[in-house]
Amino acid sequence: MSENCIFCKIVANELPSKKVYEDDDLLAFLDISPLAPVHILVIPKHHIVSLQDVTDSDQPWLGKMMALVPKLAAENGCEPGPDGGFRIVVNSGQHGGQEVDHLHLHILGGPRPWSGRASLTA
Ligand code: AMP
Ligand code: ZN
């Protein structure tokens, strides 16, 4: 756990969140400021700042995180098939538009148009 990291505090239940999935490695919860009808964040439970810090040893939980995406999307209101679908975004570093320094994957879905920050929805 990293001090002053809001996502570590969510993992530790020191801050509230609307959880939609949890296992030993990963946590998923609703984004507090949704930019699409469906907006879920998926994070590793351990603190890692961004995708820039990932190494080969992170492959197991990263693979698990990616495989979880379609399941969470379907369970939380994203429509299936070519007329539905979802977008995933992993902002990394300042140039990548990352605001919270704990690696997270956005799942965005639901009928368009979506409103909100261009960095995520354009
Ligand atoms: P990023 O710009 O990729 O770092 O996105 C950070 C995301 O975290 C934004 O979409 C915020 O709305 C979201 N966020 C910040 N604080 C919280 C919180 N306490 N609970 C849920 N989502 C949050
Ligand atoms: Zn953290």
Ligand 1 neighbour 24 (Cβ under 6 A): no
Domain membership of residue 117 (yes or no) is: no
Domain membership of residue 114 (yes or no) is: no
- Looking at the structure of the chain, the number of domains it has is 1
Chain center to CA of 105: 3
Residue 121 pLDDT more than 80?
Answer: no
Ligand 1 neighbour 12 (Cβ under 6 A): no
Q: What is the pLDDT of residues 73-103, one digit of tens each?
A: 999 999 999 999 999 999 999 999 999 999 9
Ligand 1 neighbour 118 (Cβ under 6 A): no
Q: Is 104 a catalytic residue?
A: yes
Residue 117 pLDDT more than 90?
Answer: no
Its domain, for residue 42, covers: 6-109
Q: Which of 47, 95, 102, 104 is catalytic?
A: 104
Domain membership of residue 55 (yes or no) is: yes
Of the CA atoms within 13 Å of residue 82, those in its CB half-sphere come to 0
Name the DSSP letter for residue 97.
T
Q: What is the pLDDT of residues 25-71, one digit of tens each?
A: 999 999 999 999 999 999 999 999 999 999 999 999 999 999 999 99
Residue 74 three-state SS? helix
Nearest to 53 by CA among 26, 90, 16, 106: 90
